[in-house]
Amino acid sequence: MSQDSKKKSNLINALEFKTSTFSVPVLMLASDDMGLLEQLLAQKIKQAPEFFKNSPLVLDLQEINKQGFIVDIIALVDLIRKAGLILVGVRAGNVLQNKQSLDLGVPVYAAQGRESIVESQRLTKFQVETPPTIESDKPQEIKVTVPTTLITHPIRSGQRIYAAGDIVIMAQVSAGAEIIAEGNIHVYSTLRGRALAGVLGDIDARIFCFDLQAELISIAGNYKVSEDLGASVRNKPVQIYLKDKSLIIKDIVLHH
């Protein structure tokens, strides 16, 4: 091989994309008390300073969001960076948290689960509409529209789907499957698995299904298990919504 052609082939190989799997520590938080978090983090790092020094870290918000805590992502990211850790991702954030993370240059990962099919691209593709006139003293209101997730194949036992907005499923949801949405859930077939709507606390979220045989239904954390579902609501099209903190199950088709 001549010098020249060697150089050329080196140039061709100069850049290559590959996928690799790394193991990275994940920080799970279950409190919104910044002072406490700072203190606990410092304690942990003290136990193994070499391990944590410049260590990459993924921040998991699942627990925080599940418990309905409000955290300031910007402050949290700052706190982590000050502790000498390098934040390489935020996981299981809601739409707003994801946007804030991306603004800080931190990549966003969807919630983790067994065989979860997560619409991660959708999470990052939301549109933000700012009202045209903003009064400076009021906190800026951001309206966020998340596209609806459409699923046309059956959701089988063991599968888990998380949608950052509404989800429409055109096939059955098997027993042992789990549908989790920040918004509404529509199932145009039999719902045998679990359906959790409004998981981040939206009490106006609803569940609609063609044939209710669910193992569990939940809206904003208020749930009913299969045993609680009487014969009068089973095996037919119903909608489920929240009224004064209790789940109401009603026929979709209204009889006059």
Partner 1 sequence: MARVIVVTSGKGGVGKTTTSAAIAMGLAKRGHKTAVIDFDVGLRNLDLIMGCERRVVYDFVNVINEEATLNQALIRDKNCNLLYILPASQTRDKDALSQEGVGRVLDELKKDFKYIVCDSPAGIEKGAHLAMYFADDAFVVTNPEVSSVRDSDRMLGILSSKSRRAEQNEEPINEFLLLTRYSPERVKLGEMLSVDDVQDILSLHLLGVIPESKSVLNASNSGTPVILDEKSDAGQAYADIVARYLGEERPHRFIDDKKGFFRNLFGGK
Q: List, in order, residues 6 or more apart from 40 with CB less than 8 Å away.
A: none
Least gap, CB of 231 to partner 1 (angstroms): 8
Residue among 153 and 250 whose Cβ is closer to partner 1: 153
CB count, 10 Å around CB of 69?
14
Q: What is the dihedral of CA 167, 171, 172, 174, to 10 degrees?
A: -70
Q: Which residues are at the interface with partner 1 (CB under 8 A)?
A: 115, 117, 153-159, 171-172, 174-177, 192, 234-235
CA distance readout (Å), 233 to 124, 193, 213, 230: 38, 16, 9, 6
Residue among 3 and 21 whose Cβ is closer to partner 1: 21
| 248 three-class SS | strand
Q: Answer for the pair 112, 105: CB distance below 8 angstroms, yes or no.
A: no
Residue among 124 and 174 whose Cβ is closer to partner 1: 174
Least gap, CB of 255 to partner 1 (angstroms): 18
Q: Answer for the pair 207, 240: CB distance below 8 angstroms, yes or no.
A: yes
Structure tokens belonging to residue 247: 């789940």
Q: What share of the chain is helix, strand, coil (3-state, %, to 5)?
A: 25, 30, 45
Least gap, CB of 159 to partner 1 (angstroms): 4
CB count, 10 Å around CB of 10?
9
Residue among 94 and 159 whose Cβ is closer to partner 1: 159
Residue among 97 and 159 whose Cβ is closer to partner 1: 159
> Tokens 């569940």 appear where?
207
Q: How far is CA 252 from the centre of its chain?
A: 28
Rounded Cα distance between 105 and 139, Å, is 23
Residue among 176 and 221 whose Cβ is closer to partner 1: 176
Half-sphere exposure of 102 (CA within 13 A, CB side): 14
Structure tokens belonging to residue 216: 């569990």
Residue among 117 and 168 whose Cβ is closer to partner 1: 117
